[in-house]
Amino acid sequence: MSWLITLSLFFLISCASQQKVERAPASIAPVKALEIDYRKSLAQIFPGDAGATVAAYLYVQLRDVEGNYVDADPEGFRIQGKKGENISFGLERMLTGRYYLLIDKTEGIKSSEIDLYLDERPLKQQVKLHLARPYRSTSGLKVMENANNRLTLRLELRDEKGRPVELPEAPEILHDDVTQLESIEHLGEGVWKVVMLYPQDNCILYFSVRAMGTVLPNLLRHQHIEN
């Protein structure tokens, strides 16, 4: 993994170091476990870098029967070691239905020796040795809607073989000073919705993306002509 990912993980761990298990913000309303489809939900396990303070982190995606992301009560998560012991962890909610669970190296556990439970039901796990990097030739950024000086864009990030690239955090949109990022939303595996604001003046806008320590330059050029 790149130093950028390690730095991000270090930041999350430092925030969680005062208390191993953190509650999600109070604004998140817990949902009933029956609303979660355990067949569609998934926990991806990534081992930490050799020099990092993180032994492993889990990227959890919770979905309902229709495939939509749904939240859960953070108190329902439990990580168990191979001997049946409970493992302490830090928890961070990224987006609706998407969480990071981080295990400190002081726990002395390996990523291959853990099981994740939600409300005492096992979550399907997938061990990942590394995160793929997006390639400019296979990724894309296109305009979905343009109205009221607001551009709605669809960003698709793919690796060199055209496979979707999941990110541990939202990608960074690189843009001109005249534009402003209003929002960015994860829509699905490797797909993001980006909303940009731009001025009323005639202008040519260029958008690049930084993700996984890689810059994808000039993914989109958009010309605005004021009527």
Per-residue HEC secondary structure of 72-129 comes to CCHHHEEEEECCCCEECCEEEEEECCEEEEEEEHHHCCCHHHEEEEECCEECCEEECC
Query: Structure tokens of 211?
Result: 């993700």
Task: Convert the pLDDT of each residue in 144-192 to its tens digit.
Answer: 999 888 999 999 999 989 989 887 678 899 988 888 999 999 888 889 9
In this structure, the chain runs to a length of: 227
Query: What predicted TM-score, i.e. pTM, was given to this entire model?
Result: 0.51
- Strands 90-95 and 98-104 turn out to be antiparallel
**Could you read off the pLDDT tens digit of each residue along the chain, which spans 227 residues?**
444 444 444 444 444 433 333 333 333 344 344 489 988 898 888 776 555 577 777 888 899 988 888 999 999 999 998 888 999 998 988 778 888 888 887 666 766 778 899 999 988 877 655 567 899 999 999 999 998 889 999 999 999 899 898 876 788 999 888 889 999 998 888 899 999 998 877 788 899 998 877 889 999 998 877 76
Q: Which domains does the chain have, with CATH numbers?
A: 3-127 (2.60.40), 140-224 (2.60.40.10)
Predicted pLDDT of residue 212: 76
> What is the DSSP-derived secondary structure letter of residue 168?
S
